[in-house]
Chains A and B, each alone.
Chain A
């Protein structure tokens, strides 16, 4: 195999296993590509060259000694900059953590490196993962490789842009309301948000703890599955991590005969871009032609999901971000008293969107409003979860759009927070219930922009989701199309 920017993780893994190329050569190739492309895309905030080359050298030495290499040996990976990597800056896209160097590795970073993957960079992101465009980053927005005037989506903006541009075959993002699935759709990638608790969050900077989850993004479903397999599994250091074994990469391919698919028809009645609607309908047709039974499914409370999310997530964010007081880590603005120092530090360190969400969260938790907003939203979340469980009594997977439309222009929504929040209208409902979901490319607009379809499954059924997504990917035949 000739190494190219579009080599998949699976093909790189196989080439390394055959001894046709060294891990150092692979690392150098992708680091050089990152160096040449990043000035135009701003996808990476920290290039971890030293760490990458040291890891590659260690793998090559192990091979020279005749040792068996781990399953992802030599495969480059980019990780979102809210994942702690020891001795490396972890900025979370914020001035608050601009100089923060993590003193420990996140569990997913340890697992990724134990599997032999080589971390080449920390990816740009919306500040503290709050945003749907990448534009709230304190380090400037990442750009969409399909059209650099457009956003790549968010909040895993840089991770999506880097993979779409061929800087790495896969990346780790995090998904609270859709931050893996939505940028995957905008950048023509597969992006999996695993079941809540399926992947450890130890070392993931917290945003909304009842929702946050780490997830893989890649140009193919197979690569997404490989990365998921490497990072899933129990972890005693994350109290919410489920005691479930790591997920093996799913094989054999799906036989869709007998698969029951629920088409989320209400979502298709929304104000969708025609390419999104056509893509989802084509996905339904591919599954039906393969022998699956497709029927329409209703989620009666899903129209309240966005409102419930924008009560619950800001409430949790206002609590989680209370830790940024200038004492233990991050920015400190000196002031005569502790109270003044806390206020001065937080006001200088947080950007506008984070400030908006902290204020929203503080409001919905304050006396007199808590019952009307927070308690009602939590109970609405229960009703939405029940809708999904009822649906999974009738079907095996749910199919709908990932986003209402394709990527939008940089700056076009940044002054209107509500219109930005609507980007996540379809990714949020399953997240509220802790259900796994995957976005996969389902077509292109007339202007050549990718759009995505979302599959949602029962909890812990990532394997079925990945197999179904791989079947659709084969039916769509879009994996050879890359940005110019």
Chain B
């Protein structure tokens, strides 16, 4: 089961955004939220979800269609000149030997 599915299925039966579901949501968003922050954010998010939930009351008619949306043309996905590697690496908080440096994420590997 994917993590996003976990978010939905493990929290069934709770209020719209109960504490467990809120924690799962924060994990999905890769955010670490303190209990104090959660106390403030969770009711605000409940209110926002309550408001935007009104979209579900919009009656289904032929006018509701993805096809009516404004055109958003995309160009062909072709290789083109981009930033020079040194310019791209120059903004990184940690780089070496032409690479971005990150903490190790393979067990036993080096940083």
Contacts and interface: CB of A to CB of B under 8 A. Distances in A.
Interface string B46-88: 0111011111101001011111111111110000100100011
A387 B105 CA distance: 51
B61 A367 contact: no
A4 interface: no
B18 to A, nearest CB: 13
A260 B72 CA distance: 28
A271 B33 CA distance: 37
A463 interface: no
A356 B105 contact: no
A385 B68 contact: yes
A311 interface: yes
Contacts, number: 190
A341 B2 CA distance: 22
B92 A329 contact: yes
A347 B32 contact: yes
A310 B48 contact: yes
Interface residues of B, number: 57
A335 B103 contact: yes
Interface string A90-114: 0000000000111110000000000
Given A356-B48, A359-B31, A363-B49, A376 B58 contact: yes
Contacts of A104: 83, 87
Given A344-B32, A355-B31, A383-B61, A364 B52 contact: yes
Contacts of A432: 70
Contacts of B70: 196, 385, 432-435, 459
Given A197-B73, A338-B103, A338-B105, A329 B52 contact: no
A344 B109 CA distance: 22
B23 to A, nearest CB: 11
B98 interface: no
Q: How large, as a class, is the contact surface on chain A? A: 35 or more
A337 B104 contact: yes
A207 interface: no
Nearest to B75: A239
B39 interface: no
A236 B37 CA distance: 43
A338 B106 CA distance: 10
Given A240-B73, A382-B65, A367 B103 contact: no
Contacts of B31: 343, 346-347, 350, 355, 358-359
B41 A356 contact: yes
Interface stretch (A129-137, A245-253, A301-309, A440-448): A301-309
A341 B72 CA distance: 35
B45 A341 contact: no
Nearest to B1: A367
A368 interface: yes
A328 to B, nearest CB: 6
Contacts of B55: 304, 307-308, 311, 373, 376-377, 380
26 contacts: A104-B87, A239-B74, A240-B73, A304-B55, A310-B51, A325-B30, A326-B93, A327-B100, A328-B88, A332-B94, A339-B105, A341-B103, A346-B32, A359-B31, A359-B41, A362-B28, A363-B17, A366-B8, A368-B9, A377-B55, A379-B66, A380-B58, A382-B64, A382-B68, A418-B48, A433-B69
- Nearest 9 A/B pairs, CB to CB: A434-B70, A382-B68, A368-B8, A332-B93, A329-B91, A379-B64, A103-B87, A383-B63, A347-B32
Given A356-B41, A433-B69, 12 more contacts: A240-B74, A242-B73, A346-B32, A356-B45, A362-B25, A363-B17, A363-B45, A366-B7, A376-B64, A383-B65, A418-B48, A435-B70
Interface of B: 2, 4-5, 7-9, 17, 25-26, 28-33, 37, 41, 44-45, 47-49, 51-56, 58, 61, 63-75, 80, 83, 87-88, 90-94, 100, 102-105
